[in-house]
């Protein structure tokens, strides 16, 4: 077992405090561990008091390559976080280890093993790919932490890998991925703080309590006023549409929020509130903060102007197709001209696609987009990130990247999915065309192009079943 084959090399001195038993740890030991864990991705969103408790009960382990941490079907005894190295996640359709295939890899900063909460069998086998350092929390302590910190842990412990059962469906994980708490990136969080402080310094009247339909909305701004103010601050902002995209960046990451939780920023008389103002006792910027905001404002606006167009595009693609304006359709069409998977399509088809494409995103590596054997319902194009193509009995047969597409053959032939698609990394973005729209716009075009392909495909498939292309899915 992993416990019996643990390496006895010299432990990283920076983690030596974690090697002593919990009862033997001094306050200084806990402080040392806490300082290290704050830099580990798996713990970056944990509440400080929860993190301190983890420092008091966690164990450090280092394992050599090829160690099986636990097997599919085992009853769990511990929860783990990866401090360094990587581990393979292997799943068997038959529950036999000999038939297990690797569906994804867990890297530094990921956590796994939540099944210890309810004693359900492990959904996968975990094997070290290389020398690994892990933080381990035993079941009793992990359950105790869960009971005490349930509210802040519930959205943070979604397993980082998707697992498929023998019915070719995604196993419902203990925590729904859609419930994951949104945590802004440090860069965008800082941008929001700079803009808020600049507004409070230059135009404090913009952030105030407002009444609408007999209801009072605390400490909020108006969409049109935010756009007006931003355009006055920099020559790099050339239009109101550009400014909308820049505010959308903050809205997407939860640094700016619509008072009714709408997901798109609009240049209208609508109320928005900065994250800092969500608190009852939000502080005003001090003299030093005001000075910093003045110094950093132009760099912040330049940053938002660079990433704003992508946020604006995502905002448009999230709209229901019936709500897209002529300007929206033109923006989408211009983007489609740069996607290699669509390069062979006519202008007419691309303009039709602009009206039906849907934006889809997934936060966690290992999420199963669809499973082998399922009915095909959509065609996908990768906008950002990468996915693994997984076939039972063969494992990962290829990887698809930005600009690649997959899923159309199952629609053309009305055939089951020939493979499963598993996210290879966090934060992947896709364009999706659903079956009805695909049939209306693209079926004829693809059927013609697939006549020659299908003959070649069938010939190639017979001698080499394991070679799967994206078009087969």
Express each pLDDT in 307-350 by its tens digit.
998 899 889 988 888 889 999 999 999 989 988 788 888 898 99
List CB contacts of 203: < 8 A, sequence separation 6 or more.
229
Express each pLDDT in 139-152 by its tens digit.
999 888 888 876 66
Return the pLDDT at 174.
24
Return the pLDDT at 242.
92
CA separation (Å) from 368 to 169, 425, 434?
Answer: 9, 12, 18
Return the pLDDT at 191.
94
**The pair of three-digit structure tokens given for residue 415, joined into one six-digit string:** 């055939």
Return the pLDDT at 164.
34
Return the pLDDT at 440.
87
Pick out the chain residues at pLDDT < 70. 1-25, 41-42, 44-45, 93-99, 150-184, 443-473
List CB contacts of 144: < 8 A, sequence separation 6 or more.
none
What is the percent of the chain where pLDDT is above 70?
78
Cα(135)–Cα(58) distance, integer angstroms: 6
Q: Are 313 and 335 in contact (CB under 8 A)?
A: yes
Cα(438)–Cα(341) distance, integer angstroms: 14
For residue 401, with 0-12 CB atoms within 10 Å meaning exposed, 13-18 middle and 19 or more buried, which class applies? Answer: exposed
Please tell me whether residue 98 adopts helix, strand or coil conformation.
helix
CA separation (Å) from 166 to 134, 176, 265, 267, 418?
Answer: 30, 21, 43, 50, 15
List CB contacts of 395: < 8 A, sequence separation 6 or more.
101, 102, 103
Percent helix, percent strand, percent coil in the chain, to nearest 5: 40, 20, 35
Q: What is the pTM of this model?
A: 0.54
């Amino acid at each position: 077992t992993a416990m019996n084959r643990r390496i006895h090399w010299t432990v990283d001195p920076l983690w030596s405090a974690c090697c002593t038993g919990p009862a033997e740890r001094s306050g200084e030991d806990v402080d040392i561990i806490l300082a290290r864990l704050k830099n580990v991705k798996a713990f970056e969103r944990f509440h400080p008091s929860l993190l301190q408790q983890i420092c008091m009960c966690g164990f450090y382990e280092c394992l050599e390559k090829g160690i099986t941490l636990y097997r599919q079907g085992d009853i769990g005894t511990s929860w783990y976080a990866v401090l360094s190295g990587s581990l393979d996640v292997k799943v068997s359709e038959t529950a036999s280890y000999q038939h297990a295939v690797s569906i994804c890899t867990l890297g530094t900063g990921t956590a796994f093993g939540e099944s210890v909460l309810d004693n359900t069998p492990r959904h996968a086998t975990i094997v070290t790919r290389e020398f690994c350092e892990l933080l381990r929390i035993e079941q009793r302590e992990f359950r105790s932490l869960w009971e005490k910190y349930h509210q802040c842990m519930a959205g943070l412990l979604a397993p980082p890998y998707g697992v498929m059962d023998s019915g070719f469906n995604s196993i419902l994980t203990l925590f729904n991925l859609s419930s994951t708490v949104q945590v802004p990136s440090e860069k965008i969080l800082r941008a929001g703080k700079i803009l808020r402080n600049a507004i409070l310094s230059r135009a404090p009247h913009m952030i105030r309590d407002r009444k609408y339909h007999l209801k009072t909305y605390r400490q909020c701004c108006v969409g049109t006023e935010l756009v007006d103010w931003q355009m006055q601050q920099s020559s790099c902002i050339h239009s109101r549409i550009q400014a909308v995209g820049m505010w959308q960046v903050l809205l997407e990451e939860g640094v700016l929020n619509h008072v009714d939780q709408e997901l798109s920023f609009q240049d209208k008389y609508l109320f928005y509130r900065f994250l800092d103002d969500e608190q009852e006792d939000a502080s005003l910027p001090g003299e030093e903060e005001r000075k910093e905001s003045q110094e950093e404002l132009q760099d912040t606006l330049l940053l938002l102007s660079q990433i704003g167009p992508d946020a604006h595009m995502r905002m448009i693609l999230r709209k229901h197709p019936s709500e897209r304006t002529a300007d929206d359709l033109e923006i989408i069409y211009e983007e489609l001209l740069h996607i290699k998977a669509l390069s062979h399509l006519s202008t007419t088809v691309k303009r039709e696609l602009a009206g039906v494409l849907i934006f889809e995103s997934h936060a966690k590596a290992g999420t199963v987009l669809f499973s082998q054997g399922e009915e095909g319902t959509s065609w996908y194009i990768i906008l950002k990130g990468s996915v693994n193509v997984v076939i039972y009995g063969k494992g990962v047969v290829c990887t698809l990247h930005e600009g690649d597409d997959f899923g159309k053959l199952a629609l053309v032939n009305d055939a089951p999915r020939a493979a499963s698609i598993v996210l290879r990394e966090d934060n992947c973005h896709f364009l999706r065309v659903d079956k009805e729209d695909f049939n209306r716009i693209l079926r004829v075009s693809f059927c013609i192009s697939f006549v020659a392909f299908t003959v070649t495909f069938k010939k190639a498939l017979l001698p080499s079943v394991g070679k799967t292309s994206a078009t087969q899915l």
